[in-house]
Amino acid sequence: MKLIFLGPPGAGKGTISDLAVVKLGLPHISTGDLFRAAVKNGTPLGLKVKDIMASGGLVPDELTIALVKERLAQKDVAKGWILDGFPRTIPQAEALDKIAAADKAVNFDVADEIVIGRLSGRRVCRSCGKIYHEKNMPPKKAGVCDVDGGELYIRDDDKEAAIKVRLDTYRKQTAPLIEWYGKKGKLLAIDGVGAPAEVLGRFEKAIKK
Ligand code: AMP
């Protein structure tokens, strides 16, 4: 099964992907995670995208499509994948159709006020990438990852000015994909409000249908 996760930043795509990969046994491919790894490792790609990401803008289509094409050429994706955070523009969706068309696009619908609360409270483990929320999903010990003891940090793009840019970018460039996949008969709309287990339950029900 080839699935795309759509929705605004903070819709819970990463959290639900982490839970869904365990249930479905599919690799979770997050372009945001791939870009963050490139930045952390100081690769030529990382140097190109660092400032764009910190501002909340989108990395150019050309670079993003090349990254996904390379990732989808690897062996572990033969049975399918969950693409989280890609495509984010119509040209990216058109490119993906040529590489490997998705079976379904799952849209996690969440209102802006909730998204802002989720993003501003989000904390991420610097070493393993596990996601927490300071109020809704806190670690056992403040500032420390439950899994590997890594330091929890606030992503540059989860700071207030960048959140605003990301929501504007989402509305202008990514939200049109909902209609785009709808017209192809591939859209599954999920209410993304609630605890992760609740949203996961709705997602599982929808893909079984
Ligand atoms: P995410 O973790 O999905 O919120 O992505 C973090 C940042 O990575 C975004 O704000 C963009 O700067 C960049 N990014 C991730 N995926 C894409 C994409 N499909 N197209 C362009 N930029 C992306």
pLDDT 10s digit of each residue in the chain, 209 long? Answer: 999 999 999 899 988 998 999 888 899 999 999 999 999 999 999 999 999 998 889 999 999 999 999 999 999 998 899 999 999 999 999 999 999 999 999 999 999 999 999 999 999 999 998 889 999 899 999 999 999 999 999 988 898 888 989 999 999 999 999 999 999 999 999 999 998 899 999 999 999 87
Distance 172 CA to ligand 1 centre (A): 14
Distance CA(169)–CA(122), nearest Å, equals: 20
Provide the strand spans (E) within the chain: 2-6, 28-30, 81-84, 104-109, 122-125, 131-133, 152-153, 187-191
Mutational pocket test of ligand 1: of 4, 31, 158, the residue with most ligand atoms within 8 Å of the beta carbon = 31
What does the pLDDT read at residue 49? 96
Would you kindly state where each structural domain of the chain is located, as residue ranges? 2-111+171-208
Residue 53 in contact with ligand 1 by CB distance below 6 A: yes
Report CA(59)–ligand 1 centroid distance (Å).
7
CATH of domain 2-111+171-208: 3.40.50.300
What pLDDT sits at residue 209?
A: 78
**Ligand 1 near 173 CB (within 6 A):** no
Q: Is 113 exposed, middle or buried (0-12, 13-18, 19+ CB in 10 A)?
A: exposed
Given the residues 13, 71, 118, 123, select the one marked as catalytic: 13
Collapsing DSSP to helix, strand or coil, 195 comes out as coil
For ligand 1, atom 1, name the residue with the nearest CA.
32
- Cα of 31 vs centre of ligand 1, distance in Å, is 6
209 is catalytic: no
Name the active-site residue from 88, 118, 123, 202: 88
| The model scores a pTM over 0.85 | yes
Ligand 1 centre distance from Cα of residue 130 (Å): 17
Residue with tokens 């890594």: 150
Q: Sheet of 152-153: strands edge to edge?
A: 131-133, 122-125, 152-153
Test site for ligand 1: of 59, 61, 177, most ligand atoms within 8 A of the Cβ: 59
Query: What stretch of H or E contains 149?
Result: none
